[in-house]
Amino acid sequence: MFAVIELGGKQFPVEQGTRFRCEKLDLAANTTFTVEKILLVKSGEKIQVGQPYLKGVEVKAKIVGHARAKKIIGLKYKNKTNYRRKYGHRQYYTTVTIESITG
């Protein structure tokens, strides 16, 4: 089965066993949870599209862990005024594995 889910404000195409990174979730590592927002499910030739979400379909996922991405360097600069500011940012993310898709 194939599904498109919404998690952390973004959409992800997933199948069973898919591992991906999403915005940080407030759940502990090794926690299993059910994804509520399922946009599309494809099983063989049958396709179900939600408006906006599907009911009666369940996607179970497990949190593998939490981490931070590589540092992104930003720079502010204003011409002719000797104004320069350099800053860095590291985004938090959560690694998630899909365990099952039913429905």
Contacts of 52 (CB under 8 A, 6+ apart): 39
Q: For residue 38, which of 8, 19, 63, 59 has the smallest C-alpha distance?
A: 59
Mean pLDDT of all residues belonging to the chain: 95
| pLDDT exceeds 90 at position 20 | yes
Number of structural domains found in the chain: 1
Tokens of 95: 């690694």
**pLDDT tens by residue, 39-88:** 999 999 999 999 999 999 999 999 999 999 999 999 999 999 999 999 99
| pLDDT exceeds 90 at position 94 | yes
Contacts of 80 (CB under 8 A, 6+ apart): none
pTM: 0.84
Domain carrying residue 9: 2-102
Secondary structure letter of residue 56 according to DSSP: S
pLDDT number for residue 103:
79
Average pLDDT over residues 13-32: 96
